[in-house]
Each structure stands twice: as structure tokens, then as C-alpha cells.
Amino acid sequence: MKAFAMLISILVTAGCSAINVAQYSENKPRLDLFQYFEGETKGWGIVQDRSGRLTRQFVVEIRGTIDAGGRLVLEEHFNWSDGEKSSRTWTIEKSDDHTFAGTAGDVVGTAEGKAYGNALNWRYKLLLEVDGSSWKVNFDDWMFLQPDNVLINRAAMSKFGLHVGDVTIVFKK
């Protein structure tokens, strides 16, 4: 019983730990989210389950525009390795130099983002279809801009504080 209580304690605390994105404030090249995604961007990605097994692959084409209200609108079109096609439209607002808020049809509430240096961290809940039902999955989503306009995106997915998988995407402008 003690071992079970210790395991639960570890899982709960692991789910609460967070890296402070501000530690990357001096990293270069500097990521300007609106500038990076305005126009056409392409990404190649994989989805892995909690054991690291590759479950799906995809290519995403993104068209980013700045609307009349100064918001970044991202139209994402996914082509999945199993033949599925899907789309998502993000609307992102910039609160200040470091803080962003985003919404999309399958995002529960508002995604909250912080950016410093070459890094951006998004946190949000996404509705995912799993075996015919819809799950609310937490995303801890990290983007790091590299030289030559390559953006590496790694998102950890969790449910009830337990790690359920990862999504990795490499974007090229």
C-alpha cells in the first residue's frame, strides 16, 4: 500500500512540474510567432504513444494571416499517413511581448502561451477522438526556433496527470 501511495504522489508531482520558458530569453534566433507563421509554412510530424511507439505520421500545411484586429489566424491542413485529412483553424492574440492566447474549434477554453528568446510554451486542452469517443487531453507544447527558419515542436500529452504520448513536428518556412 505504501508503494502505491508513493507512486500516486510521484505521478501527481510530475504532472505539476514545469520548466520556466523565461530561462531561454537569451537564446537565438529569436522566435516572433506572428512573423514566423505569417504566410505559408509546412510541417512534418509524428505521434508516439506513451511507450514511444510511432502510431501516426502527418504533413501539415499552414496558411497564416494577420486579421484586421491584429490576430494571427492559422489555417492548418493535415494529411495523415493513414489517409485521413483534417483541418484546424487557430486564432492567436498577443497580450504583450511574451504572452499569447489562442483558440481553435477543438481546443477546450483558451490555449495560454509564453515566449522568450527562441522558445514558446503553449498549454491547452485538446479534444481528441479516441476509439469513437472524445477525450480531453492536456498538451504541454514547446517550440524552439533553430537557424535557417527551422522550428522544432514537441508536445507532451497527458490525461489525469499521466503521460499518454508525444507529438513532434518540424516546421520549415
Give me the pLDDT at residue 60, please: 98
Please name the residues in contact with 8: beta carbons below 8 A apart, sequence gap of 6 or more: none
CA separation, residue 65 to residues 46, 58, 105, 124, 166 (Å): 26, 23, 18, 22, 28
CA 130 → CA 89, 127, 133, distances in Å?
A: 21, 9, 5
C-alpha cell, 114: 509564453
Q: How far apart are CA 158 and CA 5, in angstroms?
A: 20
Note down pLDDT in tens along the chain; length 173 residues: 454 444 344 444 444 457 899 999 999 999 999 999 999 999 999 999 999 999 999 999 999 999 999 999 999 999 999 999 999 999 999 999 999 999 999 999 999 999 999 999 999 999 998 788 889 999 999 999 999 999 999 999 999 999 999 999 999 99
Give residue 99's identity as a one-letter amino acid code. T
Q: Report the distance separating Cα 78 and Cα 62, nearest Å.
A: 9
What was the pLDDT predicted at 92? 98
The C-alpha atoms of residue 89 and residue 92 are separated, in whole angstroms, by: 10
Q: What element of type H or E holds 3? A: helix 2-16
Taking the C-alpha atoms of residue 25 and residue 119, their distance in angstroms, rounded to an integer, is: 8
